[in-house]
Amino acid sequence: MDIFLVVIIVFEALIILGLIAYMIINNMAIDKICENTRELSTKNVEVEDVELRGDSLASKVSDVIVKENVKDLAHNINVVKSNLVAFLESTKGNVITLTDAIDALANASSANETASKQTSKSSQTVAEKANLQLKLVEDNLEMLEENASELRVINTTMHAIENELDDTSVSCRRGIETLEQYEKDMRAVEKNLNQSTQILAKFNDDIKAVNSIGDMVVRLSEQLKLLALNASIEAARAGESGKGFVVVSQQMSLLSEQTKTNMGKINDILEKVVESSSTVGESINDCSSAFESSTAVFKSVSDSFRDISAKANAINGEMNGISAKYDKMTANSNVSKDKAGEIFSASKTITDSTSVVVAVSEETSVESSKISQNVKSLETMLLGVRRLIRQFNNGVLPSINNRNTTVVIAVFSKLDNFFWYQIRRGVLYAMKELKDNNVEVKYYPYKDDYEEKQFPADIRKCIDERVDAIIYPGFLKLADNEIKTAIDKGIKVFTYNCDASSDIKRISSYEPDQKEAGVLAAKAVGKALRGAGNVAVIVGDMTQEVNLLRYDAFKDYLDKHFKAIHIVDTVEVTYEPEKTYRKYIEIMEKHPEIDIIFSTTAMQLQLAKAIEETGNTGKIRAVIFDHNLEVFDYIKRGVIAAAIDHVPFSQGHDPIIYMYNNIVDGIELPKEGIKCKASVVDEDNISEYLT
């Protein structure tokens, strides 16, 4: 990088010397050109551009051809200076980018080296664990195979149990059916016994009736016998006439005796019959009781069979569920076995690969160490670049003095667009410059309105931490009370980009010179039109000082120095993008003769878009304020002739250096403030901003 800078500087020095030689050869002693070339040769780039107006050189150069050559020479010197300034500013920004990249690379390299060593160590541990894992997986495979064998035995046993349960269930069903049939037969026998008991009871009753009749017959026989005796007595009394009756009486007595005897026999038989019937009845009752007991027993047996059958069915159902689970276990076991085989294979691969990882980690560690050495070389190179840049008079430089105690400077900034990112680069460059000066720069960027609400709290934090100085954009009003408190406590306050309200007693400010900006815009228009042409002016709200200062300075400079450039129209616009866009189109339609549109507003992209969309690219160009990557692209395409900017890099960088120099050296800063530099980006130096 430093060799590249030296080559550029030598190349530009040769150009300058060639231009000087050209002037000497042509016997031209143009003081301003000579002065600028001398300053550039001493590395002072803080010089004004050489005027390109022909009439300014008329008094010194009379020949027309020589006059044009002088204008070309002055233009070339201006371009060389502009390119050198742009190159230095770009290099400062690139230094920050490279520094950030180098820091990131250093951190990554260090982390990578540490990680590589750790990886190597861990890989060795992994190798050991992988070998152990391999052994465990191998053992697991053997156990899984044993489990599979046991599961097969269990499966065979389960099927045998299922078959036995099926047979038991069938036997139970048959036993239940037999018991039910036997119970039915028993109930029929019991019914017959009950009927027999009833018949015997009736039979006994009949026998008793017969017995009663026998008793009556015996009584009748007794009466008949008595009657026969009485008849015999009466027949005896009757004599012969009664002899026949005596025979009858004797026969009746004999018949009565025989009847009595026979009835006695009958009674004996009947008693035996009754006795036998009683025995039969008792036997029948005993049988009935036995049948009743048997019925209860058989019912219990039947219930037991049913219970056994139900439980056998339930067990069979459970066995079916167990069988399904067994099938799933078997499937899972097979999957586990397959997976274990895969793990075994992977473990073996890991074991084989770990040694390779260890070797690569060791190589990576060595390479990381080399990268760290290269990073240190890059850091040394960037330090040389910063020292080389400091040889040029291109902005404020930090004091070489240090304070015994750390200088703490708090810097606040927005960070919501390209402009503020350029300011951030300036802040970071100042931090790098002051890195070895015992300085701590606390940077507080706000990416949106929500984060900006933290501004008052951050100021209070700075007060509590007793920082030496606070630098902030004056338009941030949220913390005015806190800023006043900081000033009362002896903290120095410095504003930039925009000054604070008058009741804020800041030490100084760093803000754009809007009059200079207007003059630079007029010079850019003169350069673009080569001294002649028509201009339309678009002015923002004229009640705002920034627009008024820019417009007045632009118009005054054109009136004094570019007589052949005419302002054909001036239009005031609001800060509404759509309305402003339509105004741009209206003024182009109204004045087809215009060559340049100069706008003081911040809506530069709407102007460029309007020029393109109306087909005026190459016919009408724009001169605007502020730039970003889109503006650079429009400049490259010829839509925008020039963009004037108040060097955001310097707005981020210079206030920190001014504040540091004030703190360590007591250098007074002007109460009225310091005007920051402005730059112009056009077709001559756009390449420096795009690299």
Cα separation of 510 and 474, whole Å?
10
pLDDT exceeds 70 at position 368: no
- 3-class state of residue 178 by DSSP: helix
What's the pLDDT score for residue 679?
86
- Return the percentage of the chain with pLDDT > 70, whole number: 58
What's the pLDDT score for residue 295?
67
DSSP result, 635-651: HHTTSEEEEEE--HHHH
Tokens of 315: 């067990």
State which CATH number among 1.10.443.10, 1.10.10.10, 1.10.287.950, 3.40.50.720 fits the domain covering 1-8+43-394. 1.10.287.950
What's the pLDDT score for residue 60?
45
- pLDDT, tens digit, for every residue of 533-552? 999 999 988 888 889 999 99
Q: What is the mean pLDDT of the chain?
A: 77
Q: Kindly indicate the confidence band of residue 308, based on its pLDDT and cuts at 50, 70 and 90.
A: confident
Q: Kindly indicate the confidence band of residue 69, based on its pLDDT and cuts at 50, 70 and 90.
A: low
What's the pLDDT score for residue 99?
65
pLDDT exceeds 60 at position 59: no
- 3-class state of residue 116 by DSSP: helix
b/e string for 547-566 if b means 16 or more Cβ within 10 A?
bbbbbebbbebbeebbeebe
pLDDT exceeds 90 at position 64: no
- 3-class state of residue 393 by DSSP: strand
Domains 405-512+648-677 and 514-645 share a fold: yes
Q: Which CATH superfamily is domain 514-645 in?
A: Response regulator (3.40.50.2300)
pLDDT exceeds 50 at position 390: no
State the average pLDDT over residues 356-373: 64
Name the residue among 111, 85, 285, 290 with its Cα closest to residue 194: 285
DSSP result, 16-78: HHHHHHHHHHTT---HHHHHHHHHHHTTB---PPPP--HHHHHTT---HHHHHHHHHHHHHHH
CB of 407 closer than 8 Å to CB of 664:
yes
State the average pLDDT over residues 269-298: 68
- Return the percentage of the chain with pLDDT > 90, whole number: 34
Cα separation of 429 and 395, whole Å?
13
CATH domain 405-512+648-677 topology: Rossmann fold (3.40.50)
CB of 607 closer than 8 Å to CB of 622:
yes
- pLDDT, tens digit, for every residue of 456-496? 999 999 999 999 999 999 999 999 999 999 999 999 999 99
Cα separation of 205 and 200, whole Å?
8
Q: Kindly indicate the confidence band of residue 258, based on its pLDDT and cuts at 50, 70 and 90.
A: confident
State the average pLDDT over residues 641-657: 93
77 versus 399: the higher-pLDDT residue is: 399
pLDDT exceeds 70 at position 508: yes
Name the residue among 606, 670, 664, 671 with its Cα closest to residue 639: 606
Cα separation of 486 and 468, whole Å?
10
Paired with 494 in beta bridges are 471, 508
- pLDDT, tens digit, for every residue of 120-162? 666 667 666 667 766 776 677 677 677 667 767 776 776 777 6
Report pTM: 0.55
Q: Kindly indicate the confidence band of residue 32, based on its pLDDT and cuts at 50, 70 and 90.
A: low
23 versus 444: the higher-pLDDT residue is: 444
Q: Kindly indicate the confidence band of residue 403, based on its pLDDT and cuts at 50, 70 and 90.
A: confident
Contacts of 662 (CB under 8 A, 6+ apart): 492, 507, 668, 669
pLDDT exceeds 60 at position 426: yes
Q: Which of 39-48, 118-127, 318-327 has the lowest mean pLDDT?
A: 39-48
